[in-house]
Structures are given as structure tokens and as C-alpha cells.
Amino acid sequence: MTQEWIKALDLEKKLYHPYFEEEERFLKEELKSGMLIDLGCGEGRISRQLQGLYTHYTGIDIDQEVVDKLNRNTPYNVSYQHGNVCKLDLENGSFDTALCMTTYANFGKNLTQMLQETSRILQDDGVFIGSCYHEEALDKRLELYSRFGDIIKSINEHGHVTFKEGMETEISCQYTKNQIKEQLKNAGFYTTRIEKSGPFYLFKGIKR
């Protein structure tokens, strides 16, 4: 997954890079300083981008290899852990902000579990910021996937794409604004901001 994402970043500068600029601005405006957790952190770009804006950054990723590599050279207030963000070995209320940038699309039926777990580890009034493909992103996504070859197993009527076995990720989803608001609400978050950026929605919820 991480390797595919790194390849995608490289291949799809046109598709993703305007989004990354807007994502950085959004994060800098909405981040609550203090303890920050990055769920499905990939190669750690967010820790570098937001340096100086958090007391401590924890990146979690299911890809052991990428976590080991990142941990070889980290600043004193940055750490990476291997784990599944749907089941975190972290204390209740231990973070001020949780991020789930683009990885939000990859949970499929486990999305509720991820959001409930995120809500558990955030303090009251904690901030959740995420991004995910929007309801009109399918064509752009298919353009991207075609560059990786014949990798799609199925596409359903909601634009949820299941990948063939052997891929590092199983599923990639897209959602409407209302679906995202509802998903956040069901996990105890109140959506305060949601906007389109390239093929993504960028959004913020506050734990109530």
C-alpha cells in the first residue's frame, strides 16, 4: 500500500499536487497543537510538513517495513508505530488531533471501527481531520489505477473499487458530503468544515 502510494505520488503530480497544497493550508488552519496522531501515515510526509506545530507526532501504519525505515531517523518529538488503526493499543483521550489523510478511503466496511477507535483516543473537543475521494472522483481514480496495470477486481455502484489479490490494499472508496458527515456523527464527531479539493473532500470534525 505504502509503496503503491509513493508510486502514485510520483506518477500523478497533476492529479494530486494541487490537493496537497490545499491540504497543507487546511491542516495549518485547523490543527490543534499538542499531541498529534497520523492514522495510516505512509512515508511520513505530514510529520515534516507540520514540523513545529505539534508537541509530539505519532505516525501509525500497518506497513512494518515503512515504519522501521522511518524510525531510523526521527526528531526527538516524532515516533512511528506499526499497527492497525482500527484497533489501537493507545490510551483513551491521549491525543488532541487525529489525522487520516486520504487513508480514509481504504477502510471499506471497517470505517466505523476506525472512527470509533479514533474517537476513543481523542480527548473531548479533540479534532479529527481527514480526506477522502469525493462522489465525482471515479474517472480520475480509474485513470490513476490504469497506470498500475490490470489491478481492479470490481467496482460497485457507489464507486467503491476492490483490487485484485496481491495488491497491498483491498479497497478504495469515495463518499458524498452527507455520507462523511453521517459517518463522523455516528462516531461522536460534529463536522465543522468540509470542502472539495481536487478529487478529495477535506474535512474536520470535533469530538463532542
Instruction: Give the interface with ligand SAM as residue ranges (CB under 6 A).
Output: 1-2, 5, 40-42, 45, 60-63, 84-86, 101-103, 106
The nearer residue to ligand SAM, 46 or 206, going by C-beta atoms, is: 46
The nearer residue to ligand SAM, 45 or 124, going by C-beta atoms, is: 45
CB of 140 to ligand SAM, least distance (A): 15
CB of 23 to ligand SAM, least distance (A): 8
Cα–Cα distance between 135 and 179 in angstroms, integer? Answer: 10
Nearest to 205 by CA among 195, 193, 196: 193
Nearest to 16 by CA among 201, 199, 146: 199
**Which DSSP symbol is given to 61?**
E
CB of 129 to ligand SAM, least distance (A): 11
The nearer residue to ligand SAM, 7 or 153, going by C-beta atoms, is: 7
Cα–Cα distance between 150 and 70 in angstroms, integer? Answer: 31
DSSP output for 110-135: GHHHHHHHHHHHEEEEEEEEEEEEET
CB of 84 to ligand SAM, least distance (A): 4
The nearer residue to ligand SAM, 15 or 86, going by C-beta atoms, is: 86
